[in-house]
Amino acid sequence: MMTLLHIDSSARQTGSVTRDLSARIADQLSQGGTEVIRRDISAGFPVLSEDWVSANFTPATERTDAQKAILAASDALVEELKAADTIVIGLPIYNFSVPAAVKTWIDLVARAGLTFKYTENGPEGLLTGKRAIIAVASGGTKAGSEIDFATTYMRHFLGFIGITDVSFVSADQMAIDADAALQGANQQIEALAA
């Protein structure tokens, strides 16, 4: 059975372009029997603390109960990523980059030994064999342009943890021509192979 992890990050619960696109992508890619895990990360997570960093760098077998508790939320996010065959992420461009909530999620799922490991040849991603589709929306920033630090960052980060099959559905530059942006995104959704 396929497992699809559907993540949204827009601060907007209503009128959100990325939520609409990500929902339609998740629908299109779910076959009968697909298990869908929903995760709304728009509220973000607490930023990393000294205790969190210390717990993370303590070998798993030596962690105290308090350190295990500190890492529990991160562990849960990593587990659902590991469980997913397909990951759909709604990603607004905020201030030329990803929403801060997405950055807090990234900090929690980048775990040495769980999602990547260090080797003689440098870091190696451990979450291989997965596919990610990212629904992007922006007001004026052109997706993929040199001032778009959101999609380049997401592609790089997901590749770092082993997810190299990453595609984007973009409703970018909505403030310039919303109809054209949405039409383009719809065509990209239709073209997604199941």
Ligand X SMILES: Cc1cc2nc3c(=O)[nH]c(=O)nc-3n(C[C@H](O)[C@H](O)[C@H](O)COP(=O)(O)O)c2cc1C
| Site residues (vs ligand X, CB under 6 A) | 10, 12, 16-19, 92-96, 137-141, 174
Nearer to ligand X, 12 or 117 (CB): 12
The one-letter code for the residue type at 160 is F
Minimum CB separation of residue 145 from ligand X in Å reads 10
Minimum CB separation of residue 115 from ligand X in Å reads 26
Nearer to ligand X, 99 or 163 (CB): 99
Nearby residues of 184 by Cβ (< 8 Å), 6 or more positions away: 170, 171
Nearer to ligand X, 128 or 183 (CB): 183
Minimum CB separation of residue 7 from ligand X in Å reads 12
Minimum CB separation of residue 17 from ligand X in Å reads 4
Query: For the chain, what is the total number of helices (H) and then of strands (E)?
Result: 6, 7
Nearer to ligand X, 87 or 143 (CB): 143
Q: What tokens were used for 55?
A: 């717990």
Centroid of chain to Cα 7: 7
